[in-house]
Amino acid sequence: MNVCFEGVNNSCPKVIRPLVIDVAMTIIMFDTIILTVFGNLLVIISVSHFKQLHTPTNFLVLSLAFADSLLGLVVMPYSMLRSISSCWYFGELFCKLHSCIDMTLCTASIFHLFFISVDRYYAIRHPLLYHKLVTNLVIEVCLLISWTIPGIYSFGLVLSSTNMEGLQGVLPSAICLGSCSLLFNKMWSIISALVSCFIPGSLMIGLYIYIFSVANKQAKVMEIHSKNKSKKTNIKNKISIQSESKAARTLSLVMGAFLLSWMPFFIIMIIDPYLNFSISFDIYNVVLWLGYFNSALNPVIYGLFYPWFKKSFTVILSGKIFCTDSSSINVLTKL
């Protein structure tokens, strides 16, 4: 029998797969890590460097990209080794730390997306008061909440082993040598899924539905009153509404991609305790890496749907960012 540690009692068994599957897994996971790190690094450099991108929404996007890049740098490489070998070789303490960071970053991502949806709500609902309502101080508070609450919740839950209460006697494989699985009992599986996905996700869906309905109403009102205003004013208002609506649509796409990517994982997490943890290790890996892939997808969405991100990416990759006063380049114009 193949085990993680030969000649050691209570060593976890290895999952044996055909070589071609292991090679395919390695390629897919490695490419996901590379795309996650470098894609989000482009977003971080873009928002940090170009002055025109220093907006409240983009500061939230910057922090989201930082969380995703950390996931690619700190979490995914160790998860890849665990997924391919089906063993954990880095000790119990680092296993807990890895699980804490993993859970913190994934929960922080959806908190960021929630506050981005709130930001878009005020931009569409109160366009004239937006800059007074959404200040740098407000954004700083949102960022503080987005990082501290997920961190306190994740580290407190995992380090205290509260999520594992009642499982030690039921699931001996969870404590065999070479195992590193973030398991939850029935109660905490539901609570964690609600906190990390379903509650903020439902609120975001409601906000974006409301945003689009308000945007449509504003467009209709603008058409009705267009005859009473100058042509220049109409064009300016129309461009403003279209710009905010497009931004909302793109960010709703980011939110939708997050929910679709992570929903299978949280569904598995909820039902697994009720199936006596009978869901296979490979299925768990599939839904986990589907969630991880979302962190690589966000920069692709920004590059495809935001002309200014596409232009800033081009400036960075072409080396023009090293030119004098490159931070003042007009990235808001189309290529």
* Crossing angle (nearest 10°) for helices 56-70 and 92-125: 160
Reported pTM: 0.86
Averaged pLDDT, 261-281 = 89
Token pair of 17, please? Answer: 């797969």
Pick the residue with more confidence: 229 or 106? Answer: 106
Compute and round to an integer the Cα radius of gyration of the chain: 23
In tens, the pLDDT along 318-334 reads: 888 988 888 888 888 65
The whole-number average pLDDT for the span 119-140 is 86
Six token digits for residue 53: 């991108």
- Residues with Cβ within 8 Å of 206's Cβ and at least 6 positions away in sequence, in order, are none
pLDDT at residue 26 greater than cutoff 80: yes
pLDDT recorded at residue 223 = 60
Residues 75-103, mean pLDDT to the nearest whole number: 93
Residue 142's pLDDT is: 95
Work out the pLDDT band at 171, boundaries 50, 70, 90: low
Structure confidence at residue 16 (pLDDT): 87
pLDDT at 170 (0 to 100): 64
Q: How many Cβ atoms sit within 10 Å of the Cβ of residue 148? A: 13
Residues in a beta bridge with 11: 177
Q: Give me the pLDDT at residue 8, please.
A: 80
* Amino acid 121: pLDDT: 85
Q: How far is residue 5's CA from residue 41's CA, in Å, rounded to a whole number?
A: 37
Residue with tokens 């997808």: 297
CA distance 89 to 73: 18
Q: Is the pLDDT of residue 286 over 80?
A: yes
Can you tell me whether residue 37 is helix, strand or coil? helix
Fold of 19-322: Rhopdopsin 7-helix transmembrane proteins (1.20.1070)
The pLDDT-based confidence of 259 (bands split at 50, 70, 90) is confident
Band of residue 231 on the pLDDT scale cut at 50, 70, 90: low
Q: Taking all residues of the chain, what is their mean pLDDT, rounded to a whole number? A: 85
Is 5 strand, coil or helix?
coil
Q: Quick one: pLDDT at residue 1?
A: 61
Higher pLDDT among residues 144 and 214, named by residue: 144
Please tell me the distance from the alpha carbon of residue 126 to that of residue 117, in angstroms, as a whole number: 14
Q: How far apart are CA 312 and CA 333, in angstroms?
A: 10
d(CA 59, CA 255): 17
Q: Model confidence at 210, in pLDDT bands (50, 70, 90)?
A: confident
Q: Where are the domains of the chain?
A: 19-322
What CA–CA distance (Å, rounded) separates 156 from 152?
6
Minimum mean pLDDT among 82-86, 205-209, 218-222, 289-293: which range? 218-222
pLDDT tier for residue 71 given thresholds of 50, 70 and 90: very high
238 CB neighbour count, 10 Å cutoff: 14
Count CB atoms within 10 A of the CB of residue 169.
Answer: 7
